[in-house]
Amino acid sequence: MSENKQRLEIVTPQKKVFSEDVDFLVAPGADGELGILPGHTPLITSLNVGIMRVEQEGKKYSIVVSGGFMEVRNSKVTVLATAAERTDEIDVARAEAAKKRAEERLASKVPDIDTLRAELALRRAITRIKAASGK
């Protein structure tokens, strides 16, 4: 691997989503976005629901991550995500349906509803729709 590259591995409990050398990435860290270049100082951080932007030989990719952790060490970035998917794999109709369900749950004001879970589902759905539309 060139010193201008770093290995990015994104893994979920179900599968390996991404495993390639990249030039640069921006991750949705717990305290804000993190830009990672090759040779970055070692770090471990939790990730928020968000869009990871990846640059690879002039091409740009977006990958939706739904929480998890990221470790940077020795020009290798490892992401252990609860869920992750490339934008070209997103089922927009399914994401729209999930958004509608979450909004209905939150609007129902039922006392035993898990509000935090519904809010997270809404955030994931909105993020997936945003990423798929390229916004």
32, burial (CB in 10 Å: exposed 0-12, middle 13-18, buried 19+):
exposed
Domain range list for the chain: 6-87, 91-133
Sign, CA torsion 80/13/59/53: negative
Q: Which CATH class is domain 6-87?
A: mainly beta
Predicted model pTM: 0.83
Please give the chain's pLDDT, 135 residues, in tens.
567 899 999 999 999 999 999 999 999 998 899 999 999 999 999 999 999 999 999 999 899 999 899 999 998 999 999 999 998 888 899 999 999 998 988 888 777 778 888 888 889 898 988 888 876
User: What's residue 2's pLDDT?
Assistant: 63
User: What's residue 85's pLDDT?
Assistant: 92
DSSP secondary structure code for residue 42 in this structure: P
Backbone conformation region of residue 3, classed left if phi is above 0, alpha if psi is from -120 to 50, else beta: alpha
CATH number of the structural domain 91-133: 1.20.5.440
User: What's residue 135's pLDDT?
Assistant: 60
Q: 6-87 with 91-133: one CATH topology?
A: no
Neighbours of 75 (CB within 10 A): 18
